[in-house]
Amino acid sequence: MRLAEAPQPAGGKGRRPLRRTAIPDWHALWTAYRMHWTRRRLLLRAFRKRGQLIPVCDRTGQIGKADILGLASVRNEAERLPYFLAHHRALGVAHFLVVDNDSDDGTRDLLAAQPDVSLWRTGHSYRLSRFGMDWLTWLMIRHGHGHWCLTLDADELLVYPHHDTRPLPDLTAWLDAHGQPAFGAVMLDLYPKGPVADGHYAPGQDPTEVIGWFDAGNIATKYQPPLKNLLVRGGVRQRMFFAAEPERAPTLSKTPLIRWHRRYAYVSSTHSALPTRLNRVRGREAGDLPSGVLLHTKFLPSIVEKSREEKRRREHFANCALYEDYYDALIANPDLWCPDSTRYDGWRQLEALGLMSRGGWD
């Protein structure tokens, strides 16, 4: 709101004290109104899509009051899931809520055998469910209210300052004590040295042993006023596939960890959320907050075959035709490494590079 002084009578006598009148900021009010109805629309979508989920094994009765929950929508991720589950269990995720989107590689059986996984399946469109977010939003409405919820893709591994010695419950306790309902992270694309499909990865292996390189310096940020979030782009995918049109490069900024309320909603994957206060997790407006990194394991040797499938299914981008060249480049088995590539060496290295921060959490 802007403030203006009320007009004063002429002359010295009879002068009234200065009075300040609030002038509404109509643009801010209109933006807030639009965001309010966007959030309601997204929650309604999730409610309507709940019927697309068929329970495979529902173990949600095991969820404790203080448990941190992990959520993911997956398809044909039997290769990644053993390490994904082990890594996030070690961090402190107590229970996983997973949607299997018609896998045919053993993913469903693998997940159903895990005692800390509740599993649903669906054959409906991943793209038309907002890339799985409608399904996961419903599960968070139903089971995540009041819990810290870590929402990830199967090719993302969360790391943060001291993650090797201080588990997630320590981090979330600090966030709670400081009245901070969300935790931000930047996605970091990892890749091998040499053609991407030429290596070998065994399920359960630490992916950084196979894809241990990343781009450290080509990161750019842009503030988006409507959602009040700081958008981050760059990395190897921008360098290799979107150098001529960097605005088309995938967004790297995410808010994967939120103390969930049934009235919250993610807007675009986990890149932004509503209400907008959930997006104050990085940048000057956020203040002295800790942040993390999502190690992105997309470029395991199976990427070439997965790219062929994604190009055929046309389920991973809103406008698939714009990304034909991107898929073709991946199918060609490129070498993403360059002399400026950096070898991954743990969270302290990422903090020194400015990719994550301890903030006030020491």
Sign of CA dihedral 144, 145, 150, 154: positive
Other C-beta atoms closer than 10 Å to the C-beta of 139 total 23
Q: Whole-number mean pLDDT of the chain?
A: 91
Q: pLDDT tens across 292-304, in order?
A: 999 999 999 999 9
Side-chain-facing half-sphere of 328: CA atoms under 13 Å: 6
Res 362: pLDDT: 81
Quote the tokens at residue 340. 């400026």
The dihedral of CA 203, 204, 208, 209: what is its sign? negative
What value does the mean pLDDT take over residues 39-61?
A: 97
Q: Could you state, in order of their start, the residue ranges of all structural domains in the chain?
A: 34-352
Answer whether residue 19 shows pLDDT above 70: no
Cα torsion for 354, 356, 360, 362, to the nearest 10°?
-100
- Give the model's pLDDT for residue 22: 67
Q: How many C-beta neighbours within 10 Å does residue 350 have?
A: 24
* Phi/psi of residue 269, nearest 5 degrees: 45, -135
pLDDT at residue number 315: 64
Q: How confident is the model at residue 280 (pLDDT cuts 50, 70, 90)?
A: very high
Structure letter (DSSP) for residue 259: E
pLDDT at 67: 98
Q: pLDDT tens digit string along 262-271? A: 999 999 899 9
From 3.40.50, 3.90.550, 3.30.450, 3.30.250, which CATH number describes the 34-352 domain? Answer: 3.90.550
The radius of gyration of the chain's CA atoms, rounded to the nearest angstrom, is: 23
State how far the Cα of 94 lies from the Cα of 222, in Å rounded to an integer.
35
| Residues 201-254: tens digit of each pLDDT | 999 999 999 999 999 988 889 888 888 888 999 999 999 999 998 888 999 999
How far apart (Å, rounded) are the C-alpha atoms in residues 24 and 45? 32
Determine the pLDDT at residue 318: 57
On whether the pTM is more than 0.85, the answer is yes
